[in-house]
Amino acid sequence: MLYKKNIIFNQQIKETYTHLKELELNTICVEGNCPNIGECFSKGKMTFLILGDTCTRNCLYCNVNKSKRGKELNFGEIENIKKIISLHRLNSVVITSVTRDDLIDGGSHYYALLCKELKEFNNKVSIEILTPDFGYDEKSINTIITSHADILSHNIELTQSLYKKYRPVGNYTKSLDILKQYAQSGKKSKSAFIIGFGETDDDIKQTIYDIASTNIHYLSIGQYLAPSKNHLKPLKYYSHEYFQTLSEWVKENFNFEKIDVSFYSRSSYLDA
Ligand code: SF4
């Protein structure tokens, strides 16, 4: 795959793979074939993928398995996340999920239960949740806002012009509404999108304006990389200089608390 980073398999990375396998835990790092996996695993960073490994949406750029029905919820997963927190002495976790349009609450109560149990297990562990849109259901979004998570994140994913083609079930405007609610929750909030699908410079800047208007705290922008040979190829690879210039423009024009704008940036790559 183009632009994949080389991984030098040190002890920490090997142990992470082994423990994830033994505990039957999914991560978006592995399922999404993330280019940062070596770097993150060697620093004890990983993003757990809950609600199964099968997504009910069909976004063309994503590597996760897809089907109309997801997997049965596995409540044993909560205990296993606690075990890996202990094994790797994690002081923060990032949790994301597939989209579960086949569940009445989209899995929002499972998110809330997991956060509650993790805080009861160790309230010093910071919990960031990167959520799907829950079909834009207000009750589900409220369940997330009132959960024990410390950081609420929802990715805009793409510029608005590309939604119809690449993210047909998503709704850009409604996702911005979720961000507004996350930003007003009193918790830290975060969003990200990737570029390389044929969007224009104006599309990128407009998306940044739109995200900034929600008042979220953290923003990441990175290059789309095809997760496998069978996936959509990027229409454009932006240079490191382009990202550098964009990063400076964002710093000059907006008041995000933190930004991470670079070729390899991903939402969970930015330490919140
Ligand atoms: S950037 Fe996020 S998804 Fe990628 S390896 Fe790091 S923690 Fe995992």
Nearest to 150 by CA among 192, 122, 173: 122
Which domains, and CATH codes, for the chain? 11-269 (3.20.20.70)
Atom 7 of ligand 1, residue of closest alpha carbon: 46
Atom 5 of ligand 1, residue of closest alpha carbon: 37
Confidence (pLDDT) at 228:
81
Percent of the chain at pLDDT exceeding 70 = 97
Confidence (pLDDT) at 31:
86
Is the pLDDT confidence value at 120 over 50? Answer: yes
Compute, in angstroms, the gap from residue 79 CA to the centroid of ligand 1. 22
Confidence (pLDDT) at 268:
82
Displacement of CA 8 from its chain's centroid (Å): 24
Confidence (pLDDT) at 272:
53
Tokens (6 digits) for 203: 């599309």
Ligand 1 pocket member 36 (CB < 6 A): yes
pLDDT digits (tens, 9 = 90+) for 161-206: 999 888 888 999 999 999 999 999 999 999 999 999 999 999 999 9
pTM comes to: 0.93
What is each CA distance from 44 to 23, 37, 94, 165, in whole angstroms? 16, 10, 11, 36
Compute, in angstroms, the gap from residue 125 CA to the centroid of ligand 1. 18
CB–CB of 78/50 below 8 Å?
no
